Amino acid sequence: MSRKRAQLNKRAALCLAAAVVLLLVGVLFLHFWEEDHSRVPQGGTGPEDELTYYDGAWYRPRRDVEAVLLMGIDKAALDETLPVQGEYEQSDFLLLLVIDRKSMTCTGIHINRDTMTEIQILTDSGRVEGTFTGQITLAHSYGGSPEIRCRNAVTAVSKLMYGIKIDRYISIAMDGIPVLNDLVGGVTVEVMDDLTGIDSALIQGETVTLKGQQALTYVRARHGLADPTNTHRMERQKQYLDGLQKKLLKFGELDEGFALSTVMELNDYLVSNCSVEQLSDLADTLEECGEVQYRTLEGEAVLEDVYYEFHVDEDALQRTVMELFYDQVEKD
């Protein structure tokens, strides 16, 4: 292997490690912040001369913005059993990184898995057989390969956000959490919910160092709890992942080979359409961007029959899309 290729592979490994942290942490070197309009039309990243009228002004799609979808998948990547169509693994965690290459800034949009949107129904080969409106997490459950399922999830997020272009994706199976958790010696948390019905050691208010499957239980559990909404679970995930972030950074500082060895351990849980060169470029870009600004999509969680649905605030979503993906222009 050439020296240049080896350097690219190392940077790709570092980038994947950073992506894993972003996927599982949601706050790498960052903090959350949240923020009468005409509806933004589909095809928000269409031809450069395509103008959109919004809130009394004209806008043009930006060409210096790049979007990368990070996904946490709720089934082991090594499980090759093929259940019936529509019952493959779902995307438990969705984070859209929006990179502004003009200002060299990065915004992370955290998308609730229960967000209602249009979803394609795919055959195992990827042929579209129809659509339905459902929780966005279900998009990853259609298709006969991890790559097809990831692409369907990308399509669903794009449709939700009025047709914006998503350039790349990186996914990790949530079953990789125990692996990563134990690589850093466990993560200590003050238990936020009574989880003793699942694990007797997870007593609300107690300080526990999570090991192995306990970590997955802590970030995944929600059914049967006092507050079973995904919004509340996201708070528990953030608490756990803040602790994981600190451990990862500590281990990375002490051991230069930690990022590469971590990616090798997690390789079987990762799926991406990025080449080594693209990952290397992404690593450089994220480093130059520095602190990432986070947004969570505003909306309301509603219990419908058995399952929760999250209905986004369309006005707030439109503002977000226009701010990040469009520039205001003068029209003659």
Beta carbons of 162 and 40 less than 8 angstroms apart: yes
Q: Is the pLDDT of residue 284 over 90?
A: no
| Per-residue model confidence as pLDDT tens digits over 158-174 | 999 999 999 999 888 87
DSSP, res 233? H
Q: Is the pLDDT of residue 146 over 60?
A: yes
Neighbours of 317 (CB within 10 A): 19
pLDDT in the model for residue 64: 93
| Per-residue model confidence as pLDDT tens digits over 174-206 | 788 888 899 889 999 999 999 999 999 999 999
Binned at pLDDT 50, 70 and 90, residue 42 comes out as: very low
| Per-residue model confidence as pLDDT tens digits over 197-241 | 999 999 999 999 999 999 989 988 877 787 777 777 778 877 887
Average pLDDT over residues 259-278: 77
Question: 81 Cβ partners below 8 Å, 6+ apart?
Answer: none
What's the CA dihedral at 269, 66, 98, 143 to 10 degrees? -40
pLDDT in the model for residue 43: 39
pLDDT in the model for residue 173: 83
pLDDT mean across residues, the chain = 79
Torsion sign over Cα 205, 251, 264, 69: positive
What pTM, to 2 d.p., does this model score? 0.75
